[in-house]
Amino acid sequence: MKRLRLGSRLRSRRGTLAVTSGRTQRPPVPGACVRAHLPATYAPPMQDLLTKMRAHAAERLPLPPGESPAQNLAPYTTFLKVETHRLLQAHREGHGGLVICAARAEMMDLLLRHLWDAAKATLSAELQKKFPAIALVAIGGYGRGELNPHSDVDFMFLEQGQVVAGGKALPALARLIDGILYPLWDLRLKVGHCVRSVADCVREANGDMQSKTALIEARFLAGDEALFKKFQTTLVAKCVDDHESEYIAQRIEDQATRRAKFGNSACMQEPNLKNGCGGLRDFQNLLWMAFFKYRTRSLADLQAKELVSDQERRELETAYDFLLRVRNELHYHASRPVDVLGKNLQPAIAGNLGHNERSPSTRIEKFMREVYTHSRNIYLITRTLEQRLALLPNPGDDRSLRRFLPKRTPKLTEPVDGFRFSDKEVYAASNRIFRDQPRRLMRAFLHAQQRGLRLHPDLAQMIRHNLGLVDREFLHDEHVSETFLSILNQRGNVARILRAMHEVDFLGSYVPEFGRLTCLVQHEFYHQYTADEHTLVCLEQVDRIWEAALPAYQPYAPLLQSLDRPFLLYLALLLHDTGKPTGHGRHSDEGADLAMRVTRRLRLDEPAREALHRVIKHHLLMASLSQRRDLDDPAVLRHFSREVQTPEALTLLTVLTFADAQATSDKLWNGFKDSLLWQLHNK
């Protein structure tokens, strides 16, 4: 071992060991002060796995007296090989993601504890006598007890400021660390490691939000447990207490950046299971922030405080376990850490996870619909809980940390139509508002639109619980239809409301033709989103045209302003892809026919019905002709005129074509295609 100065790094033949406040080889995996609870049904298989693993470790890992792991690596190699295979078999048998991840963490616990004991046993009697207070501590995802098959193993040697003397590392510590790290490297394990005192941990945690998260979830493995408890107490006192607002603000900012990076949607065609919207990190982020605000460590703790419902807890835990299982399969399939469920991987992953449908496209559709359903649950429920737990900043607030301080109870108006209003949210005046008047299900969204408000989480939950009221009578109710069309007629302010409807599953209940698009895979390589998300993004493009804030959207604003019946444009976009789930013929023809059913329920007049049918039937026509045909050919223009027929239909098709392209992919539309579209429109 080379001579070591305080604050310097110790370089060995295989890695870099940070001493005092130095960072690990790689940044610690951000973790949580939480423990994900295994579903009760997983307890027996988990215990069976652990019993066999512990028995194997007790038999295989102890070394003869005087023998070091570096001298005899075979028992450790065999142990890892057998137990890794056992976990793979358990995964193939259908065990949940949490079971496999927790069992792998236990496997590493057993290995590290035996390495600790073996390394300490090789010390001389004199070094044993001078052995300082040191603890081996798991951090990050490993500290959380969740290790996917190829995730890094992050741990820390915790000491109390006595690892160096006169600029040199104490021999006891140097021998101990080498005795643990060298075998791990020989076993080809990917480890992140550091040496820190309690004071170093405090400085590191208060200087970096990710490190704070990783340290707070730390878990004792071996050594001086009293030192570890002192570390825990000090960390909470100096890094959590009085740091709540700062931490939550940093987590919110990090979450917004992360979600934007990965598409701001839980329904991307190639989802990132870890960092994407509705991914594992969203679940963890909720519990991290809840710990700082409420000192809770799990969803069970939040439920005990009546902050989370039993249904929300079950849906979140089920979704989290499922995504962990898919991530496990990704790691096993690729033999390396992988987070993105790419299109090229989806067929194999679907088959390995039990989807054996004969048609490859059907297999992918069913599997990915599961993925999207669970990701969507995580995304929507965590957003709801963040709002309910007052973890999110208020729209329009400045960046001051004061926005995260406890809020006063909002001042509510007197009841209006069964609802109360604050300056930000719509509340239910009673628990029976929908039972008394089912029409209020639609009017709740009209009130939110007219007042520029969002639904309070409790009201959103009430709507979900009352979707049974959306029956045949409700679907054909003239008053409800008029309210819905009134919402669609508010150009520039529609997409937000329809997305809110979709998030509580009301939109798909009221327009079942759209509901069948929920989490539907689109097989075309250029599509960025699922069918339902693509539709909602289309609607958002129209609202952006109305705002005319971006140069690319401004030329279309006069067209939108010229429409006497803007609801036709929004309705056409809502229904333009509804023919895709049928799989029969051209989806544009199928969608046009389905739209006629919707128009009859909505009691539209004949001209409106004809216009809607024409636009949906030909919603691909302008893009096809403008990009693939000679626009100077009179025959092409005559054909286009015959299909379009009216100036209104031309306007609707032009705006729809632009919105559809913008919502398909960030890279699909460009200035040249835009100029061709306008050339066809103007001719």
CA angle 317, 319, 324 (to 5 degrees): 95
Predicted local distance difference test score (pLDDT) of residue 477 = 96
Same domain membership, residue 254 and residue 236: no
Indicate if 36 and 168 belong to the same structural domain: yes
Q: Look at residue 585 and tell me whether its pLDDT is greater than 50.
A: yes
Q: Which residues of 316-348 are buried (b: 16+ CB within 10 A; e: fewer)?
A: bbebbbbbbbbbbbbbbeeeeebbbbeeebbee
Whole-angstrom distance, CA of residue 417 vs CA of residue 443: 9
Q: What's the pLDDT at 47?
A: 85
Dihedral sign, Cα of residue 598, residue 599, residue 601, residue 602: positive
Cα-based distances in Å from 1 to 10, 12, 171, 264: 8, 8, 9, 49
Mean pLDDT of 468-481: 97
Question: Does residue 595 have a pLDDT over 70?
Answer: yes
Mark whether 662 and 600 lie in a shared domain: yes
| Strand ranges inside 444-591, DSSP E | 454-455
User: What pLDDT score does 38 carry?
Assistant: 56
Where a domain ends, among 197, 222, 241?
Answer: 241
d(CA 491, CA 534): 19
Residue 61: per-residue pLDDT: 93
Using a 10 angstrom Cβ sphere, with 0-12 exposed, 13-18 middle and 19 or more buried, the burial of residue 490 is middle
The model's pLDDT over 567-576, given as tens digits with 9 standing for 90+, comes to 999 999 999 9
Last residue of a domain, one of 369, 391, 413: 391
CA 516, 519, 521, 522: dihedral to nearest 10 degrees? 70
- Residue 627, CB-side half-sphere exposure with 13 Å CA sphere: 15
Asked, for residue 440, whether it belongs to a domain, the answer is: no
pLDDT of residue 25: 33
Paired tokens of 307? 């902050």
Cα–Cα distance list, 128 to 89, 113, 121 (Å): 42, 17, 8
Q: Which whole-number Å values give the CA distances from 211 to 26, 27, 29, 247, 417, in the listed order? A: 11, 8, 8, 12, 50
Considering its fold, how many domains does the chain have in total?
3
* Residue 174: strand, helix, or coil: helix
Residue with tokens 């100096």: 238
- Phi, psi of 602, deg, nearest 5: -80, -5
Q: Give the pLDDT of residue 476.
A: 97
Type of residue at 442: M
> How many other C-beta atoms can be found within 10 angstroms of the C-beta atom of residue 183?
23
* Residue 630, pLDDT score: 76
Q: Which of 11-25, 65-79, 115-129 has the lowest mean pLDDT?
A: 11-25
Structural tokens at position 493: 């302010």
Residue 1 has pLDDT above 70, yes or no: no
pLDDT attached to residue 93: 94
pLDDT value of position 408: 53
Residue 6 has pLDDT above 50, yes or no: no
Query: Tokens 């989290």 map to which residue?
Result: 320
| 14 band by pLDDT with thresholds 50, 70 and 90 | very low
Could you tell me the pLDDT band of residue 36, with boundaries at 50, 70 and 90? low
232 and 258, same domain (yes or no): no
Same domain? 287 vs 223:
no
Q: Do 90 and 233 reside in the same domain of the chain?
A: yes
Q: Is residue 264 part of a domain?
A: yes
Position 134 in a domain = yes
Is residue 214 located within the same domain as residue 325? no
Are 149 and 104 in contact, with CB atoms under 8 Å apart?
yes
* Residue 198 sits in the same domain as residue 297: no
| pLDDT (mean) for 78-106 | 96
**Identity of the residue numbered 484:** F
Which candidate, 290, 330, 341, places its Cα nearest to that of 313? 290
Question: In terms of domains, do 200 and 334 share one?
Answer: no
14 domain residue, yes or no: yes
Residue 640: the pLDDT is 84
Average pLDDT of the residues in 29-49: 58
- The SS3 assignment for 168 reads strand
- Tokens matching residue 271: 């989802």
Place of tokens 């079950």: 314
Confidence of residue 521 (pLDDT cuts 50, 70, 90): confident
Give buried/exposed letters for 575-604 (b at 16+ CB in 10 A, else e).
Answer: bbbbbbbeeeeebbebbbebbeebbebbeb
Q: List pLDDT tens digits, range 398-440.
A: 433 344 444 556 788 888 999 999 989 999 999 999 999 999 9
**428 has which bridge partners?**
419
Using CA atoms, how far apart are residues 11 and 1, in angstroms rounded to an integer? 8
Phi-psi region of 645 (alpha: psi -120 to 50; beta: other; left: phi over 0): left
- Beta-bridge mates of residue 10: 17
| CA–CA separation, 19 and 9 (whole Å) | 6
pLDDT digits (tens, 9 = 90+) for 138-150: 999 999 999 999 9
Cβ neighbours around 662 below 10 Å, total: 20
Q: How far is CA 430 from CA 266, 415, 452, 460, 514, in A?
A: 32, 9, 22, 13, 30
Please state the rounded mean pLDDT for residues 578-587: 80
**Residue 471 token pair:** 């029956």
Q: Are 139 and 26 in contact (CB under 8 A)?
A: no
How many Cβ atoms sit within 10 Å of the Cβ of residue 630?
10
Q: What is the mean pLDDT of the chain?
A: 87
Q: Which two tokens stand for residue 633?
A: 């050919």
What is the model's pLDDT at position 437?
A: 95
Residue 234: pLDDT band with limits 50, 70, 90: very high
Domain that holds residue 189: 9-241
3-state SS, residue 154? strand
Same domain, 228 and 326: no
Does 606 map to a domain? yes
CA dihedral 622, 626, 630, 635 (to 10 degrees): 10
Helix crossing, 74-92 with 43-60: angle to 10°? 160
- What integer pLDDT is reported at residue 8 of this predicted model? 31
pLDDT level of residue 544 (50, 70, 90 thresholds): very high
Q: Sort strands 425-428 and 419-421 into parallel, antiparallel or unpaired.
A: antiparallel
- Find all residues with CB under 8 Å of 20, minimum gap 6, and list them: 6, 7, 164, 195, 196, 197, 200
- Residue 555, burial from CB neighbour count under 10 angstroms (0-12, 13-18, 19+): middle
Q: Dihedral sign, CA of 624, 629, 630, 634? A: negative
Q: Are residues 206 and 276 in the same domain?
A: no
Separation CA 609–CA 104 (nearest Å): 60
Measuring CA to CA, which residue among 374, 364, 322, 371 is closest to residue 344?
364
Residue 516 lies in a domain: no
Q: Report the CATH number at residue 103.
A: 3.30.460.10
Residue 12, CB half-sphere, CA atoms under 13 Å: how many? 19
Parallel, antiparallel or unpaired: strands 191-197 and 153-159: parallel
One domain for residues 278 and 235: no
Is 283 a domain residue?
yes
Asked whether residue 287 is domain-assigned, the answer is yes
pLDDT tens figures, 447-457: 999 999 999 99
The reported pLDDT for the residue numbered 463 is 97
Tell me the pLDDT tens digit for each residue of 149-185. Answer: 999 999 999 988 766 555 566 777 888 889 999 999 9
Averaged pLDDT for residues 491-518 = 96
pLDDT of the residue at 660: 92
Question: End of a domain among 179, 213, 241?
Answer: 241
**Residue carrying structure tokens 């995260």:** 404
CA distance 127 to 355: 58
The CA distance from 233 to 522, in Å, is 51
**pTM to 2 decimal places:** 0.86
Higher local confidence (pLDDT), 231 or 40: 231
CATH number at residue 343: 1.20.120.330
Tell which residue, 199, 275, 196, 272, has the closest CA to residue 235: 199
Q: Which tokens hold the place of 205?
A: 């945690």
6 CB burial (10 A radius; 0-12, 13-18, 19+)? middle
Q: How confident is the model at residue 39 (pLDDT cuts 50, 70, 90)?
A: low
Residue 397 has pLDDT above 70, yes or no: no
pLDDT above 90: percentage of residues in the chain: 67
pLDDT tens, position by position, 625-679: 888 887 778 888 888 888 888 999 999 999 999 999 999 877 788 888 888 888 8
Looking at the DSSP bridge assignments, the partners of residue 16 are: 11
Residue showing tokens 């940070």:
18
Task: Give the confidence band of 11 by pLDDT, cuts at 50, 70, 90.
Answer: very low
| pLDDT per position as a tens digit, 259-307 | 999 888 888 889 999 999 999 999 999 999 999 999 999 999 999 999 9
Percent of the chain with pLDDT over 70: 89
